[in-house]
Amino acid sequence: MDLELSGRVAIVTGASRGIGLAVARTLAEEGAHVVAVSRTAGGELPGKALHVAADLMDPQAPARVVARAVEEFGGVDVLVNNAGGPPPGVTLPRVGFLTPDEEDWQAMFAFNLFSAVRMIRAVLPVMTGRGGGSIVNVSSGTARQPGPMNVDYGAAKSALNHVSKAVSEEFGGQGVRVNTVSPGPVLTDWWTKEGGAAEVIAGMAGASKEAVVAEVAPGMMKLVTGRLVRPQEVADVVALLASPRSGSTTGAEFAVDGGFLKEL
What type of residue is 47?
G
DSSP secondary structure of 8-64: -EEEEESTTSHHHHHHHHHHHHTT-EEEEEESS--TTS-TTPEEEE--TTSTTHHHH
Number of neighbouring beta carbons within 10 Å of residue 76: 26
- Is 134 in the active site? no
Catalytic residue among 73, 111, 153, 190: 153
d(CA 81, CA 77): 13
Name the nearest CA neighbour of 55 among 119, 106, 100: 119
> What DSSP state is assigned to residue 114?
I
List active site positions.
153
